[in-house]
């Protein structure tokens, strides 16, 4: 981790925080999904509300909600976002005259709010095995993997000269993308050294459908398809078996946990101990923007594990770091690497050069001994500790 330095004794400069997984338009769901329909609320009922919002988007409304979401992230200390973008087409399907219009809108919104951005262009083909896209999903889906690759070419051509922008490849999930698409997408990402992100085992239903279609669990399928490597980012990884964590670790892959969203949706608690033991590199993402608090995302890597294991201090840190330092690395440098920043530094700590400045006079940190400031920030801090 890059050394920390105090400024005037009242500020602390940290490597800039990274939210490696975001759906900016879902900022518009705040307050709209917290009442259970009928007797119960599930991930799937939440998804219907999300689909309704996605179906209502125009380029103008997407720009507005994205700027709101990214402004909140920047003010909370985030300096780079991995935007997992899957609303590509007009309502009902088809294509805009400028096919990448909505991707460009999201990139421009992030830049306007001071963020660096990795646009993770999502590939989405179907509702699930044997089921074509339904309703709002028609805005997400392409008829052919070559359409996805052409859009990636266009995005790289348009934004490749901008030092604030990266482009990545993102098959949505094993449910939404057929196996035969994975090879061409992985080959493209490998050719251009692009990050490769994918929702993996977020909910039990995804695991069950993968077993039904392929006779394999999601990570087993991805390993067999040859797409696991050091650029692969398994988003959520909530419902893995220990051997799947080992497959990710053997590939030097990342797992991007999104704790505030995962608990909001009732996805479950990932086995973080198994991921750490396997050598999987961890990072965090805001995902659905239900809460804008990057400190909470970082500390939940530890506090959620305490809940799962029913004990305190489940991890001692790594490579000579304290636990708080480790969580800050995962909330900054690991997220930057996962999103393709400083990608030449493979297998080593990144020299991630964005800054987040923390106010040592903020209430959670005032009066804390210097050697305990990072512990206080990670386990008691909040976005109000960030200097704007």
Q: Which residues are catalytically annotated?
A: 236, 287
Question: How is residue 223 written in tokens?
Answer: 């390993």
Please name which of 308, 15, 316, 366 lies closest in space to residue 381, comparing C-alpha atoms.
Answer: 366
Half-sphere exposure of 101 (CA within 13 A, CB side): 15
Query: What secondary structure letter does DSSP report for 2?
Result: P
Is residue 172 within 8 A of residue 127, CB to CB? The reply is: no
Kind plus residue range of the DSSP H or E element containing 254: strand 254-257
Please name which of 354, 222, 349, 332 lies closest in space to residue 284, comparing C-alpha atoms.
Answer: 332
Please name the residue that has the structure tokens 């077993």.
Answer: 211
Please name the residue that has the structure tokens 């990636």.
Answer: 152
Rounded Cα gap, residues 350 and 1, in angstroms: 8
Crossing angle for the helix pair 179-191 and 145-159, to the nearest 10 degrees: 20
Q: What are phi and psi of 282, to 5 degrees?
A: -100, 145
How are beta strands 254-257 and 232-236 bridged, if at all?
A: parallel
Rounded Cα gap, residues 339 and 44, in angstroms: 28
List beta partners, residue 131.
128
Query: What secondary structure letter does DSSP report for 280?
Result: P
């Amino acid at each position: 981790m890059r050394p920390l330095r105090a400024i005037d004794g009242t500020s602390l400069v940290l490597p800039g925080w990274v939210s490696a997984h975001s759906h900016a338009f879902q900022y518009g769901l705040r307050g709209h999904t917290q009442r259970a329909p009928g007797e119960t609320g599930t991930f799937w009922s939440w998804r219907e509300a999300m689909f309704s919002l996605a179906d209502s988007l125009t380029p103008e409304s997407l720009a507005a909600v994205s700027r709101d979401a990214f402004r909140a992230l920047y003010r909370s200390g985030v300096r780079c976002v991995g935007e997992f973008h899957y609303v590509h087409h007009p309502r009902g399907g088809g294509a805009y005259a400028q096919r990448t219009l909505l991707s460009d809108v999201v990139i421009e919104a992030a830049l306007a709010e001071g963020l660096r951005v990795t646009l993770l262009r999502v590939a989405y083909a179907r509702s699930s095995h044997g089921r074509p896209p339904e309703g709002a999903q028609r805005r997400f889906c392409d008829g052919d993997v070559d359409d996805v690759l052409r859009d990636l070419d266009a995005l790289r051509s348009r934004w490749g000269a901008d030092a604030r922008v990266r482009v990545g490849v993102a098959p949505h999930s094993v449910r939404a993308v057929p196996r035969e698409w994975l090879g061409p997408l992985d080959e493209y990402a490998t050719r251009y050294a692009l990050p490769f992100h994918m929702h993996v085992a977020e909910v039990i239903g995804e695991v069950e459908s993968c077993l039904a279609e392929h006779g394999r669990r999601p990570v087993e399928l991805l390993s067999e398809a040859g797409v696991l490597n050091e650029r692969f980012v398994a988003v959520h990884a909530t419902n893995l078996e220990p051997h799947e964590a080992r497959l990710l670790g053997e590939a030097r892959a990342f797992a991007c946990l999104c704790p505030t969203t995962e608990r909001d949706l009732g996805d479950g608690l990932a086995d973080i101990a198994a991921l750490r033991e396997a050598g999987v590199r961890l990072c965090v993402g805001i995902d659905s923007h239900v809460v804008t608090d990057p400190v909470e995302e970082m500390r939940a890597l530890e506090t959620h594990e305490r809940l799962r294991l029913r004990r305190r201090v489940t991890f001692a840190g790594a490579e000579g770091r304290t636990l708080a330092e480790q969580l800050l690395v995962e909330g900054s440098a690991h997220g930057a690497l996962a999103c393709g920043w400083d990608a030449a530094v493979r297998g080593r700590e990144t020299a991630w050069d964005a800054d987040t400045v923390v106010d040592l006079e903020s209430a959670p940190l005032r009066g804390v001994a210097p050697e305990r400031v990072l512990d206080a920030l990670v386990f008691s801090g909040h976005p109000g500790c960030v200097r704007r």
